[in-house]
Structure 1
Amino acid sequence: MSKRAILIVTFLIIITIILSFLFLHNNKKTILQENYKVPKYKIFLSNMHSKKSYIGDIDDNGIWLDGEKSEYMDLSLVDIKDEYALLSGHRKNNNLLFTSDNSFKSLVYYDENFNDMSGSTASYLENNGKITSTLNLGVEDNSYWVALTSRNKEEIFYTTQIPMYTEEIHKKGNTIDLFGFNLNSENQFIASIIRYNEENQKIETTKKFEEFSNLYNVLSHDNYYYALPSKAGKEFGTEIVVFDKKKLKIVEIKTFNTPIDKIFMIDNYFFVLKLDGTLSKYDEKFKEVTNKDILNGNSNVYLDFSLYYENSIYILLHYNEHKKINGKILKATIIEINTHDLTVISETPIYMENYLSDYTEIIRFIPMDFFKGTAD
């Protein structure tokens, strides 16, 4: 065989080897891509009275992709602002601050002067990661007390005592408005608003409202909008009470036919989630634009939790009686709804595998779209 022929054969063999390698590599890559499941939500399972929790990811079919046990308790409060997401324990002083790069830090709101603080009654997360929170100090001298704490993930700026039980916090600049309740002279609950000046560290205003037992579920917009959960002994309310932001006085009351669960303001539209499972969209004059029946007459589910993130409202539906599907217990479903026309984008089941049976009391979640680059 001539040298020319040998070179040609050798060249063809090398080309064949390279092509075979590329084919096998691309085929393996395709198989891996087909088998890879994209995380849809980061799920937080915890219990109300025990330090047993589980944090893991699920895909859009509700399949658990990974996760790990932890010792957090009662992770029930969730807030998302820009690059930060905060989960707090309502009955335990444990808090998780996530950033959008999927890193997190475990925080304890603690000051050496207040070593008996329990869980976070309310939190306000700013878009720079600064957290304003209140922690329950109990009852003393015929008054509830909370510890108002300001911190970021690195340090505590201050902690001070406030005479009320706080359910909701709103903040603008150095002004902090605290909503909740306290006790009257007959030890009955009375709704209360306290305005605190962060700059001079003083309470500026205290407002009490005898007609309400509590203030929470408060939306901040041009005014404060309070979705009334209880009034005059009724378990649920059908009104939205409007407070003037500057004077903190009632200026209007909007009445609905159905008890209200949550109110959102998105792109100058009010979104009112009602306990019968109806999500209604209203303009700024509260004229209804459209509505959506979330429950579709299903009496086996109830509204557990909801949040807004990037053009979607997410609603967690919890099942009263759990279904068993393929050996898995269907505990809840997360429904994602487009805020433009209230169409359902996705419905993601949450299954309880056998190894998750100890972490079933409280379910919370963060959409994986928050974690930039992790859902691609």
Structure 2
Amino acid sequence: MTSDSPLDEALLRSLTPGVLAVLVRRGADFAAAEDAVQDALVEALRVWPGKPGEPGERPRDPKGWLVTVAWRKFLDAARSEAARRRREDTVEEEPAPGPVPGADDTLQLYFLCAHPSLTPSSAVALTLRAVGGLTTRQIAQAYLVPEATMAQRISRAKRTVSDVRFDRPGDVSAVLRVLYLVFNEGYSGDVDLAVEALRLTRQLAAALDHPEVAGLLALMLLHHARRAARTAPDGCLVPLAEQDRALWDTAAIAEGVDILQTALARDRLGEFQAQAAIAALHADARTAEETDWVQIVEWYDELARLTDSPVVRLNRAVAVGEADGPRAGLAALAALDESLPRRTAVAAHLHERDGDLTTAARLYAEAAHQAPNLAERDHLTRQAARLNTRLGSA
């Protein structure tokens, strides 16, 4: 989507999910509804002025205008095909003009995009396309795949959900997991997925009063607050303990803590609230040495109770190693499957803290070969080289 008016483009992007949701609720299948919405957006960019007061002034109700135009385009397309007869029950008459619902329709769109029939990767792509308003090209660049591949993935996802009707409440936890997957992709191409996930989660929090939605928003804010300190100028990863905390975004931390405290006060603890509480304890420490590791272990115990996740138990082993010493951490680690991702890196860290540099260097090298991305592999390789240099000097 391009426009001479950035304001119009930003406005249209923010309105797109609500307009699409209205058409889906009225009975349009997902793929046809999105085509109609895209046609309406093109029409809006053509006829809306660049400045208020020009001929063809921007409508007072932009969303209502888009819904009306998109619905008419959908009707035109439906009536021109042989499938019209199968759709007559739902598209026979154009609804009378009136106020356009907002939050409920957009909320349904979130649930549709996180439908259990979709794979996680398809759910993420469809959410970015339908709710986020990103182009297929932007999503493909963000996930480092060819645009044609992403187009096929999104098309399959659309077909999968085309016949879905909402006769029961959607699964909030599925929506939150999709948003967290988007957030953890971070940044690549010309789309900052972490920022996009934050935007969408804020939108969801405004539409849905749920403590776990607030917990996820708080978690994202607290993690995102450390972003500037997470990599060195040369692109190398900087571990949490070594980060320059002056670079942390204190406003984002304060907002995240405030949102978290409000959610926790409702006494309906969930996994995202527990994760946010751990992130808040890290953010609260002025230095790495002042981190309240004992309380972090307690929150990991809560999180393990909620999720029974091996990854949570792996992170808990790190926290135990800080709270009770590296040998206690190694004992906690011994109970976990050796094939667990990043287990070798954790073992290397704990052996180094215990003074066994030979074992730690070997494990860092092994972990580097297992690393899921280049930045992590380079970091672990440097850790192994650092210890081997020390051992050589000794």
* TM-score tier (shorter): under 0.3
Q: Identify the structure with the greater helix proportion.
A: 2
Q: Identify the structure with the greater strand proportion.
A: 1
Task: Give me the TM-score of the superposition, normalised by structure 2.
Answer: 0.24
**Structure with the greater relative contact order (CA < 8 A, sep ≥ 6): 1 or 2?**
1
